[in-house]
């Protein structure tokens, strides 16, 4: 899942793709690098980020989605917590909604996705971005994450979204400390109890920077690739990343090691 932020303030690539030519180049580049999905965001969800208006978010994401649809056949997901944005994005050609609130911030989100026949990614968070890092202590982190995601799945199913169209995300960096993020990564396989594909979003995040003493998000690729590889081993199958080609190659090698099959052997034998 390639990240395409059309925001001025995202933590890593804010402001880079607000100009049409830069946006088009990035879309073509991600498609060529092997993105299986492009995730478009028009509202930063970095810790401390303030919300933007409905109109502003729509003005950012709808043209971007229309551009993707016109340039390539890579499916699009819309990263939003607003049902009205989701509805407009799905009508413009998006196929999935990536809701960081796990259907909690907008009570109309589940029914909106269901009505459009879209797929859904639900994530665990503790509070909104502007306040989510105020409390990162948990009595049992994984139990809370799993319970929250179970409830999100049930909300989706009650609204009419088929279970096979739902994937889950533990929410790395959303209301978690460095230690909490590492615990989730160590125990990621426990999410398999939910019976849904696992989406992992660790790309360039601050916990990697803190461990590596690296303030520049663009210098966190090696740390990101370590989490992708370990994520494959733990059962994750979708990876939200800024650096598509390196992450895809890391995932393919990890998959070949962990899940060798005849197809993999044929690829290796045939060079």
Is 240 noted as a catalytic residue in this protein?
A: yes
Lowest mean pLDDT among 33-47, 111-125, 196-210, 243-257: 33-47
Q: What is the pLDDT of residue 262?
A: 46
pLDDT tens per residue across span 182-215: 999 999 999 999 999 999 999 999 999 999 999 9
Whether residue 247 contacts residue 201, with contact meaning beta carbons closer than 8 Å, is answered with: no
Tokens, residue 168: 């889950």
Whether the pLDDT of residue 17 is over 80: the answer is no
Q: What is the pLDDT of residue 7?
A: 86
Q: What is the pLDDT of residue 134?
A: 86
Q: Are strands 96-99 and 199-200 parallel, antiparallel or unpaired?
A: unpaired
Q: Which CATH number fits domain 2-269: 1.10.238.10, 3.20.20.20, 3.40.50.300, 2.40.170.20?
A: 3.20.20.20
Overall pTM surpassing 0.85 (yes/no): yes
- Band (pLDDT 50/70/90 cuts) for residue 256 is very high
Is 265 noted as a catalytic residue in this protein?
A: no
Whether residue 242 contacts residue 12, with contact meaning beta carbons closer than 8 Å, is answered with: yes
What is the CB neighbour count within 10 angstroms for residue 50?
10
Whether the pLDDT of residue 80 is over 80: the answer is yes
Catalytic residue chosen out of the listed positions 26, 60, 128, 205? 205
Q: Is 164 exposed, middle or buried (0-12, 13-18, 19+ CB in 10 A)?
A: exposed
**Closest among 59, 57, 97 to 77, alpha carbons compared:** 97
pLDDT tens per residue across span 57-68: 999 999 999 999
Whether residue 161 contacts residue 110, with contact meaning beta carbons closer than 8 Å, is answered with: yes
Q: Give the whole-angstrom CA distance, residue 184 versus residue 176.
A: 9
Q: What is the rounded average pLDDT for all residues in the chain? A: 92
Whether residue 168 contacts residue 149, with contact meaning beta carbons closer than 8 Å, is answered with: yes
Catalytic residue chosen out of the listed positions 240, 248, 265, 267? 240
Q: Give the whole-angstrom CA distance, residue 260 versus residue 271.
A: 16
* Domain range annotation of the chain: 2-269
């Amino acid at each position: 899942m390639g990240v395409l932020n059309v925001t001025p303030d995202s933590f890593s690539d804010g402001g880079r793709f607000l100009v049409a030519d830069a946006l088009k180049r990035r879309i073509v580049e991600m498609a060529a690098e092997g993105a299986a999905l492009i995730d478009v965001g028009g509202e930063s969800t970095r810790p401390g980020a303030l919300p933007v208006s409905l109109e502003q978010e729509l003005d950012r994401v709808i043209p971007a989605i229309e551009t993707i649809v016109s340039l390539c056949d890579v499916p699009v997901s819309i990263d939003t917590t607003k049902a009205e944005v989701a509805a407009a994005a799905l009508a413009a050609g998006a196929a999935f909604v990536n809701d960081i609130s796990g259907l909690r911030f907008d009570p109309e989100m589940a029914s909106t996705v269901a009505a459009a026949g879209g797929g859904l990614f639900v994530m665990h968070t503790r509070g909104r971005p502007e306040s989510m890092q105020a409390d990162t202590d948990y009595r049992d982190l994984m139990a809370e994450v799993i319970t929250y995601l179970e409830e999100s799945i049930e909300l989706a199913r009650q609204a009419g979204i088929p279970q096979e169209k739902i994937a889950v995300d533990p929410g790395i960096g959303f209301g978690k400390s460095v230690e909490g993020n590492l615990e989730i990564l160590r125990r990621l396989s426990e999410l398999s109890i939910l019976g849904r594909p696992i989406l992992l979003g660790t790309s360039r995040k601050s916990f990697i920077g803190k461990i590596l003493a690296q303030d520049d998000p663009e210098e966190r690729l090696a740390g990101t690739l370590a989490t992708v590889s370990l994520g494959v081993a733990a059962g994750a199958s979708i990876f939200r990343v800024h650096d598509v080609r390196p992450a895809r190659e890391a995932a393919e090698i990890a998959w070949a090691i962990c899940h060798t099959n005849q197809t993999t052997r044929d690829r290796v034998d045939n060079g």
